[in-house]
Chain A
Amino acid sequence: MTSEKREVVFSIFRGDVQGGRYEDFRIEVSHGTVVLDAILEVQAKYAADLGIRCNCSAGKCGSCSAEINGIPRLMCKTRLSDLPLDKPITVGPLKAFPVIKDLVTDVSWNYEVNKKITPFTPARDTDWRMQQYDVDRIQEYRKCIECFLCQDTCHVIRSHDKKKEFFGPRFFVRLAGLVMHPLDSVDRLQMIKDNGGIGLCNVTHCCTDNCPEKIRITDNAIIPLKERIADRFYDPLLMFIRKMFNK
């Protein structure tokens, strides 16, 4: 695509929790345009009441999550030059959450899950010294912008709707950051296994593939947590000893 403008068709979901349909809008775009720019253009010209969430426009606040051509992405970070422009670009709401209006979904479940996590609890007598190599890996988890694209992608939530028994990738990332915090004093593994339902994850890496912050959710957060849980609760030798001594 060169600097001149070209016409692109956007097929955008209009509707609410009752249902809706995709409506086509034809607009002119130039090189460097992202999907959010185009949506705002549609709003300015044709559909002022179009419901969207956006704030920073820079991939940092994680508000403008949507499904673009069926793939969960941030609208502000999806460049048109990376999409096929000869056919309509579909933009719809996240599928794993109830629609409020148009592209806005009710993501409040995530905030409820978050409340169940015991906050960071430092040991009483810590001197607050931490080495950079000790915090490198948790700093990766803390890059999370809570766009909830991983939650939307995860088939445990998306296809099986196990919201009652499963925390989802976002909160395994948060929990990994707490479990591996050099100064945290809470034992969280039982909770991650029983309440978090981490066993339901079968490591398909879909969350990792869709993370705009490129956090290696599966390999660096979920699998290490699963390993710790396996060591604690499913070590065959320990299980045998526990059985023998009825512990």
Chain B
Amino acid sequence: MNIYDTYEYDVLVIGSGGAGMRAAVAAQESGAKTVVLSKCLLGKAHTVMAEGGIAAALANVDAKDGWQPHFKDTMFGGKYVNDWRMAVIHAKESPEAVRELERWGAIFDRTKDGRILQRAFGGHTHPRLCHVGDRTGLEMIRALQDRTVALGVEVFTECIVTQLLMDQGAIAGAFGFFKSTGKMFVFRAKAVIISTGGIGKIWRVTSNSWDCTGDGQALAYNAGAELKDMEFVQFHPTGMVWPPGVKGLLVTEAVRGEGGLLKNKFGERFMSKYDPKRMELSTRDMVARSINQEIVEGRGSEHGGVYLDISHKPAAYVKSKLPSMYQQFMEFADIDITKQPMEVGPTCHYTMGGVKVDPETQESTVKGLFAAGEAAAGLHGGNRLGGNSLSDLLVFGKRAGISAAAYVKKTNNLLSVDPVKIAQYQKDLVVAFDRPGKETPAAVHRDLQEVMEANVGIIRHADRLNKALEALKDLNERYKHIHVDGGIGYNFGWHLYLSLASMLSVAEIVTRAALERKESRSAQTREDFPKMDSEWRKKSLIVKKVNGAVQITTELLPAMPEELRQLLGDEAK
């Protein structure tokens, strides 16, 4: 059986969101022959959903801002389990990353003196988010797309990668197929960059796109790379709660940044009970837990959320600053946000954990395998601040691209790919067509989402996490009995079946890591361990595949130089 096409490149980028395109641009500019494999059409990755802005200490609005306050905020938001080296690099390099985007054609909102405007945002002590209304992600993806095209980077759209190819412990390429024809491929490459985004599709209420199925984390894990911080999953405090079709759809934090107020059904600004200092602009984990508490204790809104109200601001202002939100509520829910409050509730939003990488080069623990963006871990620690994701993509996407190109220069030949293994991968790919089975991909996916929603959500407990592990065992068994109908050309059910393999692996990893971290810290809230534990402050959980099973170990966080420690103050100790 040898019915696949073979391609050869220096650098193979898997994923076409912000991190992937920024990495591809950097690799190509560094002289490497670069290719991007995208699961969707170009320019449709989940990055387009980013709304609020890019955090970068340009100090255009507040001259007091600089890399130090940005670093400090990021570490505080992550409750100090961030990799401080990444937080420093990120804070220092994000202003230039934003200017680069502008040079490639992005058009940000302007200050009165014609510079890039910055807005306030939760957890940021200065107005720091460069933005375009509330569609910053789209602006970013378009600018990067234009740059990618202008540089002549090759892009193959609508393909799914199911295996990374290895040669004696180093990366040799990737195996997968094109969605439209089902035609299989082998991409041989000297370096591979994983930039596949998050894992949000394993929860039912999620702001994530269909493509966010944890493919990159699963690929890296199966290739023997270490993952880190997988227990930290951010539940954004404000997703839409109604109508059912858009349940979970994000309501940007910019609503609160622009003065939106959170109220319960009695009209009380309940944040005064939980974080009187920061109120609505507290960190995301705090706001999410507070909203959850209000709902659980019966003070929620009609459809099981709370109210978010911006109607006290002038209608024209709301429409100009939050145009997508205005449209979104008008079109999906018949709500005019300039007159009525929105109904919102927590929604799965972001994966802080991911592939463990070197802070400077973004190389994983597998030789030649790099990762950037949401698929990589380290920068955000226990929780990510709004706006730090887009800057993360740019800063570390660029670094991954440059490092991969440098790695390629040191590598002489393409490594070999094992034809026996590839033959096996080909068989595995189509196995569900040929076998009988009563399960469908949609049913297993739906039940996985219910399990994660009920047991591995915003508030966790060992009993529920163990229950989830039992349920996952059952789901993995059912997975083996899925039958896929139809042909190999653009078969949605087949694609979902293949993504489910990633989702099931990642779901187990998240659950086991959540069980292991016996404390409550930022995005990880354990009912049975409600306090933050200073011992856990010192270490990260590392996940690795050993003998086919999930192995979890702890690793000490790198020691921080004294001057940075002083910068963070007493709270960080």
Chain A interfacial positions (CB closer than 8 Å to B): 16, 30-34, 36-37, 43-45, 48-63, 76-77, 79, 100-102, 104, 106-107, 111, 114-115, 119-120, 122, 128-132, 135, 138-139, 142-143, 145-146, 178, 181, 214
Contacts and interface: CB of A to CB of B under 8 A. Distances in A.
B401 interface: no
A60 B142 CA distance: 13
A124 B247 CA distance: 48
A62 B44 contact: yes
B440 A34 contact: no
Given A48-B441, A100-B489, A119-B147, A32 B249 contact: no
Given A48-B441, A61-B40, A146-B43, 6 more contacts: A37-B244, A48-B486, A59-B331, A61-B44, A76-B245, A101-B491
13 contacts: A45-B442, A49-B491, A51-B492, A55-B210, A56-B210, A59-B331, A60-B324, A77-B332, A111-B42, A119-B149, A130-B107, A142-B107, A143-B135
Nearest to B50: A60
A56 B110 CA distance: 28
Interface string B45-81: 1101100000000000000000000000000000000
Contacts of A132: 109-110, 117
B44 A51 contact: no
Nearest to B323: A143
Contacts of A63: 40-41, 44
Interface in B322-356: 324, 327-328, 331-333
Given A53-B41, A120-B104, A58 B328 contact: yes
Given A49-B493, A181-B107, A131 B114 contact: yes
A114 B149 contact: yes
Best-buried of A32, A102, A115 by chain B (most CB within 10 Å): A32
A146 B44 CA distance: 9
B421 interface: no
B484 interface: yes
A14 B211 CA distance: 23
A37 B485 contact: no
Interface size grouping (class) on chain B: 35 or more
B495 to A, nearest CB: 10
A58 B249 contact: yes
Nearest to B143: A120
A102 B135 CA distance: 31
Contacts of A61: 40, 44-45, 48-49, 209
Contact of B489 (A16, A31, A44, A122): A16
Nearest to B104: A120
A49 B492 contact: yes
Interface of B: 40-46, 48-49, 99, 102-105, 107, 109-110, 113-115, 117, 132-133, 135, 138-139, 142, 146-147, 149-150, 180, 209-211, 242-246, 249-250, 324, 327-328, 331-333, 440-443, 446, 484-487, 489-494, 496
A51 B40 contact: no
A179 B103 CA distance: 16
A23 to B, nearest CB: 13
A155 B458 CA distance: 51
Contact of A129 (B114, B135, B149, B324): B114
Contacts of B244: 30, 32-33, 37
A175 B113 CA distance: 27
A143 to B, nearest CB: 7
Contact of A135 (B99, B110, B484): B110
Nearest to B117: A132
Contacts of A130: 107, 110, 114
Instruction: Give chain A's interface secondary structure class.
Output: loop
Contacts of A31: 243
A222 B89 CA distance: 44
Given A16-B489, A128-B102, A181-B105, A139 B40 contact: no
A119 B105 contact: yes
A94 to B, nearest CB: 13
Nearest to A32: B243
A51 B489 contact: yes
A63 B179 CA distance: 15
Nearest to A62: B44
B561 to A, nearest CB: 34
Contacts of B115: 128-129
A30 B247 CA distance: 14
Contacts of B117: 132
Contacts of A181: 105, 107
A100 B249 CA distance: 29
Contacts of A119: 104-105, 146-147, 149-150
Contacts of A79: 331-332
Given A32-B243, A139-B133, A181-B107, A104 B150 contact: no
Best-buried of B44, B139, B147, B485 by chain A (most CB within 10 Å): B44
Nearest to A148: B41
A178 to B, nearest CB: 8
A48 B493 contact: yes
A142 to B, nearest CB: 6
A61 to B, nearest CB: 4
A131 B117 CA distance: 11
Contact of B107 (A37, A57, A138): A138
Contacts of A102: 490
Contact of A51 (B110, B139, B491): B491
A129 B115 CA distance: 5
Nearest to A178: B105
Given A44-B440, A57-B209, A145 B491 contact: no
B209 A55 contact: yes
A166 B117 CA distance: 37
B490 to A, nearest CB: 4
Contacts of A58: 49, 246, 249-250, 328
A49 B324 CA distance: 33
A100 to B, nearest CB: 5
A49 B486 contact: yes
A58 B245 CA distance: 9
Contacts of A104: 180, 490
Contacts of A101: 180, 489-491
Given A57-B209, A63-B44, A129-B115, A122 B103 contact: yes
Contacts of B491: 48-49, 51, 101
B180 to A, nearest CB: 5
A107 to B, nearest CB: 7
A32 B333 CA distance: 7
Best-buried of A16, A34, A48, A115 by chain B (most CB within 10 Å): A48
B135 A56 contact: no
Contact of B48 (A43, A48, A56, A214): A56
A49 B485 contact: yes
A127 B490 CA distance: 48
Nearest to A61: B44
B13 to A, nearest CB: 17
B210 to A, nearest CB: 5
A135 B40 CA distance: 30
A122 to B, nearest CB: 6
A135 B107 contact: yes
Contact of B492 (A50, A77, A120): A50
A108 to B, nearest CB: 8
A95 to B, nearest CB: 18
Best-buried of A61, A102, A119, A142 by chain B (most CB within 10 Å): A61
